[in-house]
Amino acid sequence: SKPTIINKETKTGVTFKDVAGLAEAKVEVMELVDFLKNPERYKKLGAKIPKGALLVGPPGTGKTLLAKATAGEASVPFLSISGSDFIEMFVGVGPSRVRDLFAQAKSMQPCIVWIDEIDAVGRARGKGGMAGGNDERENTLNQLLVEMDGFSSSGNIVVMGGTNRADILDPALMRPGRFDRTIEISAPDIKGRAEIFRVHLPKLRLADELEEVARKLSTLTPGFSGAEIANVVNEGALIAARHKKDAVGIDDFHAAMDRVIGGLEKKSKVMT
Ligand code: ATP
Q: Name the residue of 9, 19, 65 whose CB sits within 8 Å of the most ligand 1 atoms, as the mutation to test its pocket.
A: 65
For the CA of 55, the nearest atom of ligand 1: 6
- Ligand 1 center–CA 119 separation, angstroms: 18
Q: Whose CA is nearest to atom 9 of ligand 1?
A: 62
- Confidence at residue 272, expressed as pLDDT on a 0 to 100 scale: 47
For the CA of 185, the nearest atom of ligand 1: 6
- Confidence at residue 269, expressed as pLDDT on a 0 to 100 scale: 61
3-state secondary structure the chain: CCCCCCEEECCCCCCHHHCCCCHHHHHHHHHHHHHHHCHHHHHHCCCCCCCEEEEECCCCCCHHHHHHHHHHHHCCCEEEEEHHHCCCCCCCHHHHHHHHHHHHHHHHCCEEEEEECCHHHHECCCCCCCCCCCHHHHHHHHHHHHHHHHCCCCCCEEEEEEECCHHHECHHHHCCCCEEEEEECCCCCHHHHHHHHHHHHHHCCECCCHHHHHHHHHHHCCCCCHHHHHHHHHHHHHHHHHCCCCCECHHHHHHHHHHHHHHHHHHHHHHC
Residues contacting residue 171 through CB under 8 Å, at least 6 positions apart: 124
**How confident is the model over 5-36, as pLDDT tens digits?**
889 999 999 999 999 999 999 999 999 999 99
Interface predicted TM-score (ipTM) of this complex, two decimals: 0.97
Residues having CB within 6 Å of any atom of ligand 1: 19-22, 59-65, 116, 162, 164, 196, 199, 226-227, 230
Q: Return d(Cα 198, Cα 127) in angstroms, integer.
A: 44
φ, ψ of residue 108 to 5 degrees: the values are: -110, 5
- Output the tens digit of pLDDT for each of the chain's 272 residues: 455 688 999 999 999 999 999 999 999 999 999 999 998 898 899 888 889 999 999 999 999 999 999 999 999 999 999 998 888 777 788 899 999 999 999 999 999 999 999 999 988 876 555 555 568 888 999 999 999 998 776 668 999 999 999 999 999 999 988 999 999 999 999 999 999 999 999 999 999 999 999 999 999 999 999 999 999 999 999 999 999 999 999 999 999 999 988 876 666 665 54
- Confidence at residue 136, expressed as pLDDT on a 0 to 100 scale: 85
Q: Return d(Cα 66, Cα 62) in angstroms, integer.
A: 6
User: Comparing C-alpha atoms, which of 52, 57, 67, 32 is closest to residue 179?
Assistant: 52
Q: Which amino acid is at 184?
A: E
CB-neighbour burial class of residue 135 (10 A; exposed 0-12, middle 13-18, buried 19+): exposed
Report pTM.
0.91
CA angle, 123 then 127 then 130, to 5°: 110
